[in-house]
Amino acid sequence: MDWDDLRIFLAVARAESLSAAGRQLKIDPATVGRRISRLEETIGARLFVKSPQGYALTEEGARLMPHAERAEGAFDGATEALRGPEGLSGQIRIGAPDGCANYLLPQVLARICDENPGLEVQIVALPRVFNLSKREADMAISVSAPTAGRLSVQKITDYRLHLAASKNYLARTGPIRTRDDLKGRRIIGYIPDMIFDKELDYLAEIGAESVPLASNSVSVQFNWVRAGAGVAIVHDFAVPTAPEVTRLLTDEFSLVRSFYLIRHLDDRRSDRLNRFAEALVGGLRREVARLEALT
């Protein structure tokens, strides 16, 4: 069985499309199709079934998948061994919720890349759960630990959130000294039916019955706060970026959440990804601690 055919098989299985796999591999979709047909002839089994939604694995294809992934890991490991233990290089893609992606990852990853000039890093900042089995990212940061799938889960750090508003908003509408002072205030938060993780569903904890200003992006929410539009629950690590924003009721209301690093289980064999993950986790822990100490 040819490794290059397995590589193409993995690309189609993850992308569920010949054209998407071809773009990823930089080869013509027709060639992708021919190589899949050749692999099916070699092993004597049909690996994909085409549907309106794309190419789905057959039962035989699903059985082949973990073996192909192990072969991929072995190939990557051999490549890393030949390169030696010097600085990290190549491309690594990280999926992250946009709060982490906007206020923590830029400076953490900039330092890692300064130390590893051959490294290319991509941040996919989307408010959703990433599918690592389809290789949407090499690793992902999450606000809750998954309990299913062939995944490796490592807690990175806790972080804190508080109520906050801009000084301009408070000057216009009056101070907020107790929870009763929240009544009648315009609340900023997530769009209720677009909350992708239960750990983000926290407005009920302050008794908010409606969210007049809502976004699926925590960065949009924070910019509303900066603009003096209302009151929101914000990350402590974001507050130092906006001197016009002040935390509220810190003795009465505080939330603690956690970040987790999620990786495909087979990737734990990769020294390159292990070294990057170690640098990422250490950098995030230090950055959260530094920024929270400034609030």
Residue at which a domain ends, from 60, 83, 106:
83
Regarding whether 289 and 224 lie in a shared domain, the answer is: no
Give the chain as a 3 state SS string: CCHHHHHHHHHHHHHCCHHHHHHHHCCCHHHHHHHHHHHHHHHCCCCEEEECCEEEECHHHHHHHHHHHHHHHHHHHHHHHHHCCCCCCEEEEEEECHHHHHHCHHHHHHHHHHHCCCEEEEEEECCCCCCCCCCCCCEEEECCCCCCCCEEEEEEEEEEEEEEEEHHHHHHHCCCCCHHHHCCCCEEECCHHHCCCHHHCCHHHHCCCCCCEECCCHHHHHHHHHCCCCEEEEEHHHHHHCCCEEEECCCCCCEEEEEEEEEEHHHHHCHHHHHHHHHHHHHHHHHHHHHHHCC
Given this model, what pLDDT does residue 131 score? 63
Residue at which a domain ends, from 83, 110, 141:
83
Q: Which domain holds residue 230?
A: 160-255
Number of domains in the chain: 3
Given this model, what pLDDT does residue 255 score? 95
Measured over the CA atoms of residue 216, residue 217, residue 220 and residue 224, the dihedral's sign is positive
Regarding whether 61 and 148 lie in a shared domain, the answer is: no
Given this model, what pLDDT does residue 244 score? 97
Regarding whether 174 and 117 lie in a shared domain, the answer is: no
Kindly give the confidence (pLDDT) of every residue in the chain, 295 residues in length, as a single tens digit, with 9 standing for 90 and above.
Answer: 778 888 898 889 888 899 988 888 889 999 999 999 999 999 899 999 988 888 999 999 888 988 887 777 777 666 655 455 567 888 899 999 999 999 999 999 999 999 999 999 999 987 555 565 566 788 999 999 887 777 899 999 999 999 999 999 999 999 999 999 999 999 999 988 888 788 888 887 777 878 999 999 999 999 999 999 999 999 999 999 999 999 999 999 999 999 999 998 878 778 889 999 999 999 999 999 999 999 8
Given this model, what pLDDT does residue 206 score? 79
Identify the CA nearest to 239 among candidates 159, 179, 173: 159
- Domain CATH code at residue 59: 1.10.10.10
Regarding whether 149 and 165 lie in a shared domain, the answer is: no
Regarding whether 126 and 269 lie in a shared domain, the answer is: yes
Regarding whether 246 and 173 lie in a shared domain, the answer is: yes
- Domain CATH code at residue 202: 3.40.190.10
Regarding whether 174 and 106 lie in a shared domain, the answer is: no
Regarding whether 138 and 106 lie in a shared domain, the answer is: yes
Regarding whether 60 and 49 lie in a shared domain, the answer is: yes
Residue 88, token pair as written in the block? 């990290």
Given this model, what pLDDT does residue 103 score? 97
Identify the CA nearest to 93 among candidates 105, 81, 77: 105
Taking the whole predicted model, whether its pTM rises above 0.85 is answered as no
Given this model, what pLDDT does residue 79 score? 61
Residue at which a domain ends, from 45, 66, 83:
83
Residue type, 178: T
